[in-house]
Structure 1
Amino acid sequence: MCRICGGAVSEFFDFGRQPLSDTFLRADEVSGEYFFRLAVGVCEDCSMVQLLDEVPRDRMFHADYPYHSSGSARMRNHFEQTARDFLDTELTGTDPFVVEIGCNDGVMLRTFREAGIRHLGFEPSRGVADLARADGIRVLTDYFEESSAVRIRESDGPADVIFAANTICHIPYLGSIFRGMEALLAPDGVFVFEDPYLGDIIRLNTFDQIYDEHFFLFSVNSVRTAARRFGFELVDVRRLPVHGGEVRYTIARTGARPVSPAVDALAAEERDRGLIDPATFERFGADVKRICGELVELLRRLRAEGKRVAGYGATAKSATVTNYCGIGPELVDVVYDTTPAKHGRLMPGSHIPVRPASELAETRPDFAVLFAWNHAEEIQVKEKAFHESGGRWITYVPDVRIT
């Protein structure tokens, strides 16, 4: 049953038994590892693409949650510019107030703090929340939902901007989110969020964007339908080049703002491209199977030739790839990553060891699977010595290639 409208959800792909994508284990924790069924479907009524099974949120967003939003220079610049855009447009009144849902380590809110703007971040994962606090950012270690939004309205007043990046797609209980908006958002305020775009996932075969934390895969048509259902209106959309293709959605109270022509334009493009057509999702599933088959065949051939193959980027996305394709230490020796909290641990499900990215230049594998493909340009510049010494990158979106 659809988590938005209650309609029938038609399953179009099953990735099988999957682990928690952002839980990196010690060797003595493997026996108790949590698994769930990762299957995805589309609502026949409102077109919302969603997972069929929900992982309890406390299992995913725990105190040791390892992802740091500020880990990429490109994303730091992206969030700083986004904040400055809000300062120039939405936060120009007297004593403005901005709230971020899922503020992580505070990379977005830092610009507001420096500008002296009242701000608050909701972040349920205590470890990254503490990093934000240490930087002088005001953070509430809690989930954003109706009850917490009501409390903040009573203590801080209405919010001019409520923002979220790569967070709203994580939240199955969207009804409570919108009721929280009803309580906290100023009459002429905006709710702005950006998440991976279903259109780009289908177009580029970025199937690894489907994992436990990404409960919804949004499109303009499905977001507009959901907003209307909860008494709001989608008033603007903007394509973003980050994380393999995202859309920034701007939502306001019904009638509070004019609707940009960009909304109808992108919605029409989705219809023209068959983004609500079941056959589109069937073709996507066939592409997933083909890509995984080609990737495993390549890795097996390289290992048979005596080549050393590593991975780069212990991402949440890589859990889907390694576990669905059956890629373990016998095909990929090690995964290099820049996040210290992951070093010395094992990849979810596949149990490939994770080592510091600094060791790539020392160990010099023949090939490296670029699991963090969404940061490919930044990584390849940083790791130029790997390629100059003869190392080759393996990518698998939109197709399997060696570069």
Structure 2
Amino acid sequence: MNTSHLATPLAWLNGSDAPEKPSLDIGFMALTDCASVVVAATQGFAQQFGLTLNLKRQNSWAGLRDKLVSGELDAAHCLYGLVYAVHLGIGGVPASSMAVLMGLNQNGQAINLSPALQRKGVTSPEALARQAHQHGARMTFAQTFPTGTHAMWLYYWLASQGIHPLHDVDSVVVPPAQMLAHLEAGRIDGFCVGEPWSADAVARGQGFTLATSQSIWPDHPEKVLGCARAFVEQYPNSARALIKAILAASRFIEQSAENRRSTAQLLSGSAFLDTPLSSIEPRLLGDYQDGLGNRWQDPHGLRVFDQGRANLPYLSDGMWFMTQFRRWGLLRDDPDYLGVARDVQQLALYREAASAVAVPCPELPMRSSLLIDGTRWDGSDPHGYARSFHLHALDEAPRARVGQ
């Protein structure tokens, strides 16, 4: 791999930008959107900035969270909402100061339904809503972590179809790679998960994709490079070098379709996703088949770079997840939405790293987006936004239970 295009590291005000800690333990889950982390670690990008990245595959988001908080992992491929939940003390763990170093991707998750529902003709949002409101026909949906992106996409999408995600259906937590086994065993009726597990279920004849996450929010935030705030404070040069390396890898992946294909091949290996290439490559290229005979090229497929737009840690992105925690009763009171986001999102550090590797940086830390239900999110009124939805649970405890 040719890395000659990378910028020479800059000298910083403290005299040197050499990483204080050159060998880092980086957690990841077996998901296609870990791509830039894997490429940075294995294809020479990290070494260009004086780092060795020791990749540590994790079996569950809860396990990854605990190792981040304890310092066993220096940083990780992480659910956006997981970082904020730990920072705010949601989910039975003490609050611990956390940091988002950069975004790792946008888009590329999906909601699938079971073969049993497909046989019943429940193959549209309208049919699912009718099924959900039938007496005695209670369905169970899986997501990957109670405050994670998949829970939020599932809840948001169900609510947009008139299905209350905490009243009309049951919600359980299942690690990503175990979704298919739970579906096959009949424990769940559907799930929301990251690739390749949605495509893999379709390939194996185990149901179909009803909705993509990008149909809920085009170019939505997804995984981030997360760490404990203590890591940034103790090793700022290492954190900056890590951002540079992953930005450079992200840019490489999207330079050509061939680079995406070689990345899919790398990810299919037993050390990473351990999944057939045929379940990874198409959707990484935006080529979708839903299992119902429909095929399309998705204009908002998985993006790991998009000229840096997928990587800037927008304040409004972090704030959105907090509005949904409030909407669904995960937060009893409104946080200082903007203040918390400013604490967590490491915008200044990101901008320094992006400048060093010549990655464009959007000037504004907020962005405006139109979601599937016609609501617009721009970060200007998070308190009002959290209360603006017809379906919500602002004063209720969540009903998610952990899958076995």
TM class by shorter chain equals 0.3 to 0.5
Structure 1 length as normaliser, TM-score?
A: 0.34
With normalisation by structure 2, the TM-score equals 0.33
- Whichever of the two has the greater Rg, that structure is 1
Which is strand-richer, 1 or 2?
A: 1
Higher relative contact order (CA 8 A, sep 6+): 2
